[in-house]
Amino acid sequence: MIPRLVAHIGRLSVVVTMFFSFSVASAYAGAEIDGLTGTDFTFTAKADCVSGADGLSLFIWGFANGDGRAQYPGPTLILEEDIPVTIHLKNEISWPEPVPVSLVFPGQMDVTATGGDPGLLTREAPPDGTTVVTYTFTPTEPGTYHYHSGTRPDLQIEMGLVGAIIVRPTGFDPGSPRAYAHADSAYDHEYLFLLTEMDYNIHRLVEFGRMDEVDTTTFFPVYWFINGRNAPDTMLMAGIPWLPTQPYNCMPRMHPGEKLLMRIIGAGRDAHPFHPHGNNARIIAKDGRLLQSTPGAGADLAISDFTLASVPGQTIDAIFEWTGAALGWDIYGHAPGDDPEPNEYMPDHGKAFPVVLPGQQELTFGAAYSGSPFLGVFGDMGPGEGGLNANAGYFYMWHSHNEKEMVNNDIFPGGMMTMLIIEPPGVPIP
């Protein structure tokens, strides 16, 4: 009776897993980066809170899309090369004291600002909730960029007033996308990695109105974020209701043989060595410019690296590829005569798995294990084991290799970390 019940629960868990996988997959809007498209945007700077993945509430100042809630990071703007854009900024930040806010756009030329008050780097929106500063510019080069407040950046970037900009090249074809006007920047999936960190003490002092005690020179972050979330929240769906001010996720997925474009933005104050497990990535652009020897040469100066140095304020674009090349065994578990899979690494076709797997009683299973070493194959596990690997994919941790940044306020795992999922051929990735 008991064994049968266990078996039944096991079967049930598979069913639940499959349902979970369906709901997860269908909700991903992540393969194309979430953000706002268009040419005319309105931001409102507001005070709000974000949740650390450990449940701690952190007071922020953030940009809201229109009259929505503040969000961290601010709305990702997806623009088109040579198409002028206008961003209207209002400011409702009154806690702990009214502070002016502004926007600067590193890497953009001829930015004009009108309205509001003169500020140090650009015109500023006073915290009256009504005055509008209007910024206009024409993004003349495609690529990955960011914006941040140009008012007291040492504090306001820390407080959350920062966001991503993506500029599509002229003639962008979503069916055959390229990051730049060259085939070297072609990709199948793109993901954003906006990297930031927070010093809890600064946020607490601001929240409690103790502005006089804020000292940005003693900056000591204890939370690290990708797209505004700490791990493991990075892997939750985008737009989930219980993270209302952190709408963006970071759940990269790809099939073997595809090209995954990593758009990495060093949006905080520290450099982060971002490490994609599974393979090197090829850095094709920095600060929105292809690494090329001459205009039109493509990314002929691209650098293959296994840890991508993200410099504060800088952006890099990198192409990650994975086929399982040179593992020395067939990841699909083929017999030598079987038909190959799309993009299979053929030198290993039909090669047997090189070790005998231990028995189930001798293993501890991770939640992302499918029960089988083969891609797309589920295997038996004990009841209640696994469950997070919906399609029997391969999981690779992608993270800051400054290991202390993989924590949430000193508790591992967390922080600047997510997983790449290599999905079996045929699994839909939006």
List 216, 279, 372, 402, residue binding other proteins (CB under 8 A): 216
Both structure tokens of 213: 């005690």
Of residues 116 through 175, those in contact with other proteins by CB under 8 A are: 120-121, 152-155, 157-158
Q: Following DSSP, what letter does each residue of 153-177 receive, concatenated?
A: HHHHHHHT-EEEEEEEPTT--TTS-
How many residues bind other proteins (CB under 8 A)? The answer is 38
7 CB neighbour count, 10 Å cutoff = 11
CB 415 → other proteins: shortest distance, Å? Answer: 19
Q: Which residues, including other chains, have CB under 8 Å from residue 304's CB and lie 6 or more apart?
A: 280, 281, 282, 283
Asked if residue 291 binds other proteins (CB under 8 A), the reply is yes
Residue of the chain from 69, 88, 204, 289 that contacts other proteins (CB under 8 A): 289
Pairwise CA distance, residues 280 & 264, whole Å: 15
Contact of 49 with 61, CB cutoff 8 Å: no
Q: What type of residue sits at position 403?
A: E
Q: Choose, by CB under 8 A, the member of 47, 104, 254, 417 that binds other proteins.
A: 104
- Please state, in angstroms and rounded to a whole number, the distance separating the CA atoms of residues 28 and 36: 16
Binding mask 341-380 for other proteins (x = CB under 8 A): ----------------------------------------
Among 219, 329, 353, 378, binds other proteins (CB under 8 A): 219
Supply 330's token pair: 């067939």
Contact between residue 137 and residue 49 where contact means Cβ atoms under 8 Å apart: no
In angstroms, give the least distance from the CB of 151 to other proteins: 8
**Contact indicator for 377, 333 with CB cutoff of 8 Å:** yes
How far, rounded to the nearest angstrom, does the alpha carbon of residue 115 sit from its chain's CA centroid?
34
E strand or H helix at 50 = strand 40-51
- Tell me how far, at minimum, the Cβ of 357 lies from other proteins, in Å: 45
- Candidate ranges 23-31, 38-46, 167-175, 266-274; the one touching other proteins (CB under 8 A): 266-274
* Residue from 40, 117, 215, 410 binding other proteins (CB under 8 A): 215
Residue 56, interface with other proteins (CB under 8 A)?
Answer: no
| Shorter beta-carbon distance to other proteins: residue 143 or 376 | 143
Interface with other proteins by CB under 8 A: which residues? 104-111, 120-121, 152-155, 157-158, 212, 214-219, 269-271, 286-289, 291, 293, 301, 309, 311-314
